[in-house]
């Protein structure tokens, strides 16, 4: 019995040391990321948090909504193209990038959509076209359901649209339902693990295309290593199934034009699953595929994305700006 207690004590001491060093490493990486990435836009307070955003260009309003574990920086190349024809608003989703989401606020898509609508109210954006990438596509669809008079058109880039899906590749590691365990892992072991396997996971997300050399910094890829990004992205993915069950059967209520553009070889979200969920229910919809492309087409295929967004927006009835 005494020997067993000694072994237990040794195990607990080793575990405590591992937790401490993992925590110290996480704090080091967080500090390094915070020095490397600084907010470049403005902050608008909304109920439950704040929205970080910036504006570029002139013309009809166009709001870009990024995907899981991402930020508005993911759109940096595409934004420059779109700004030639639109007033482009690039936002960090609540809890992502530099935007905040209070711990008591749900990550459900209807809540995120409400926060974005409050942000639009405060900026006096009466109506806009939307672009949503990956999980941002699901939230764009939620906005079209919740505020039909304010959304002119929705362009979806490799979107998440339905709960009927396979695990989203390496992103499934974010699925941690228990709040306490999520917080513990975010502050200790998650960062060392992601630093170790991060390059392989990013390659899987971009497959079959190559990861651009500038993506880590200019595209915001490295910012996803911050512990708060892991925690909030885990909240997002846990909330996604329930959120999608609440909205996907209502897509037939959407009357504005909706377009779905997928990379042909997307391994994160299957085009054969997520395109019909939209096009079979929304009458005024179109879909296209980019040959030999993967999930990150806003980064790798900005010209194709710009041409498709233009096509979808041209299908909309003009509204006053």
pTM of the model: 0.95
Counting Cα atoms < 13 Å in the Cβ hemisphere of 266 gives: 29
Q: Label residues 110-142 b or e (16+ Cβ within 10 Å = b).
A: bbbbbbbbbbbeeeebebbbbbbbbbbbbbbbb
pLDDT of residue 15: 79
Is 226 among the domain residues?
Answer: yes
> How far is it, in rounded angstroms, from Cα 71 to Cα 69?
7
Give the three-class secondary structure for 308. helix
Is 319 among the domain residues?
Answer: no
> How far is it, in rounded angstroms, from Cα 4 to Cα 100?
47
> How far is it, in rounded angstroms, from Cα 321 to Cα 22?
51
Backbone angles phi, psi at 258, to 5 degrees: -135, 130
pLDDT of residue 67: 96
Number of domains in the chain: 1
Is 104 among the domain residues?
Answer: yes
Q: CATH code at 59?
A: 3.40.50.1820
> How far is it, in rounded angstroms, from Cα 121 to Cα 105?
20
- CA distances (Å), origin 173, targets 167, 170, 195, 228, 239: 9, 6, 14, 15, 14
Mean pLDDT per 10-residue interval, the chain, length 321 residues: 72 82 93 94 97 97 96 96 98 97 95 98 98 98 98 98 77 86 92 89 95 93 94 94 94 97 96 96 97 98 98 82 49
Q: Label residues 290-317 b or e (16+ Cβ within 10 Å = b).
A: beebbbbbbbbbbebbbebbebbbeebe
pLDDT of residue 165: 66
Which DSSP letter does residue 317 get?
Answer: P
Residue 162 tokens, joined:
């339905």
The number of beta carbons lying within 10 Å of the beta carbon of residue 155 is 28
Give the three-class secondary structure for 132. strand
Q: Strand 87-91 to strand 151-157: parallel, antiparallel, or no bridges (unpaired)?
A: unpaired
Q: Can you give the residue range of the structural domain that contains 51?
A: 43-314
pLDDT of residue 13: 78
Is 110 among the domain residues?
Answer: yes
Is 203 among the domain residues?
Answer: yes
* Angle of helix 179-187 versus helix 227-247 axis, rounded to 10: 150
CA dihedral 250, 263, 206, 144 (to 10 degrees): -30
Beta strands in 92-206 (DSSP E): 100-101, 128-133, 151-157
Is 12 among the domain residues?
Answer: no
């Amino acid at each position: 019995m005494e020997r067993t207690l000694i072994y237990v004590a040794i195990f607990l001491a080793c575990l405590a040391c591992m937790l401490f060093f993992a925590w110290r490493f996480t704090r080091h990486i967080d500090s390094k990321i915070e020095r490397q990435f600084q907010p470049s836009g403005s902050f608008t307070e909304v109920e439950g948090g704040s929205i970080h955003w910036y504006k570029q260009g002139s013309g009809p309003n166009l709001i870009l909504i990024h995907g899981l574990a991402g930020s508005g920086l993911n759109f940096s190349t595409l934004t420059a193209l779109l700004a030639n024809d639109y007033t482009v608003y690039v936002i960090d989703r609540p809890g992502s990038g530099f935007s905040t989401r209070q711990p008591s606020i749900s990550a459900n898509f209807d809540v995120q959509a409400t926060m974005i609508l409050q942000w639009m109210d405060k900026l006096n954006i009466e109506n806009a076209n939307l672009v949503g990438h990956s999980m941002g596509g699901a939230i764009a669809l939620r906005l079209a359901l919740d505020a039909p008079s304010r959304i002119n058109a929705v362009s979806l880039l490799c979107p998440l649209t339905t709960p009927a899906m396979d695990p989203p590749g390496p992103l499934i590691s974010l699925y941690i339902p228990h709040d306490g365990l999520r917080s513990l892992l975010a502050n200790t072991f998650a960062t060392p693990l992601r630093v170790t396997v991060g390059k392989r996971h990013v390659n899987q997300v971009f497959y079959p295309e190559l990861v651009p050399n500038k993506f880590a910094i200019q595209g915001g890829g490295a910012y996803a290593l911050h512990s708060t990004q892991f925690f909030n992205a885990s909240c997002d993915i846990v909330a996604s199934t329930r959120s999608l069950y609440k909205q996907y059967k209502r897509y037939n209520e959407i009357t504005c034009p909706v377009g779905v553009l997928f990379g042909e070889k997307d391994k994160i979200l299957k085009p054969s699953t997520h395109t019909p969920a939209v096009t079979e229910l929304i009458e005024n919809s179109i879909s296209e595929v980019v040959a030999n492309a993967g999930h990150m087409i806003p980064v790798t295929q900005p010209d194709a994305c710009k041409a498709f967004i233009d096509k979808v927006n041209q299908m909309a009835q003009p509204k006053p700006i």
